[in-house]
């Protein structure tokens, strides 16, 4: 991540405050261990700020699910665990997918998925996950179920490009 996002910090979710968020141009909610599934459900109250932040935000894997749940999506356990490389099919283009083919391979490792939350647009799906890529209709909030840091760095580069105009 540091190769693409030069000036970044890792902040534990329990340390996030509104004042701290003011110091950053954008937010990336990263993944978690597969064993954290129940813990995430019990920690959602720590992420209520997600709805009120007006900065570009990208959720990756569990971060994608957290954003979805905060906006009303249901998280559910998949019959088939996703681990390995899968094809993503683009349903609708958006800035986060700029320059990416209409079907592309990504690395995934997750046991849960979400449905599309109200107020979001589906950008991509796969055979193992109906909501692989999503964006909020009116805010610069994006979620990807896969791991772009492992297999599709272009998504992270596109997120940096989304942040740049906001910064100036």
Instruction: Say if residues 105 and 86 touch (Cβ distance below 8 Å).
Output: yes
Q: If you ran DSSP here, which 8-state letter would residue 106 be given?
A: E
Residue 147 annotated in active site: yes
Calpha distance 28→43 (Å, rounded): 17
Calpha distance 167→149 (Å, rounded): 23
Residue 61 annotated in active site: yes
Q: Distances in Å between the alpha carbon of 80 and those of 74, 77, 91, 141, 164?
A: 17, 9, 22, 28, 38
Q: Catalytic residue, from 69, 108, 132, 149: name it.
A: 149
Residue 129 annotated in active site: no
Q: Catalytic residue, from 64, 110, 125, 147: name it.
A: 147
Q: Catalytic residue, from 61, 64, 125, 132: name it.
A: 61
Q: Which residues of 14-32 are buried (b: 16+ CB within 10 A; e: fewer)?
A: eebeeeeeeebebbbbbbb
Instruction: Say if residues 22 and 52 touch (Cβ distance below 8 Å).
Output: no
Catalytic residue set? 61, 147, 149
């Amino acid at each position: 991540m540091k190769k693409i996002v030069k000036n970044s910090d890792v902040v534990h979710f329990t340390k996030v405050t509104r004042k701290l968020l003011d110091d950053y141009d954008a937010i990336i909610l990263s993944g978690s261990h597969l064993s954290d599934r129940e813990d995430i459900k019990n920690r959602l109250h720590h992420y209520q700020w997600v709805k009120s932040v007006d900065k570009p935000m990208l959720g990756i894997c569990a971060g994608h699910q957290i954003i979805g749940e905060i906006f009303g999506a249901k998280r559910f356990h998949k019959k088939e665990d996703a681990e390995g490389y899968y094809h993503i099919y683009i349903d609708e283009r958006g800035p986060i997918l700029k320059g990416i083919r209409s079907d592309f391979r990504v690395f995934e490792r997750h046991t849960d998925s979400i449905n599309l939350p109200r107020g979001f647009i589906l950008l991509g799906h796969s055979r193992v996950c109906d909501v692989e890529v999503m964006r909020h209709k009116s805010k610069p909030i994006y979620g990807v179920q896969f791991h772009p840091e492992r297999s599709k760095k272009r998504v992270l580069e596109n997120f940096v490009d989304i942040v740049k105009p906001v910064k100036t």
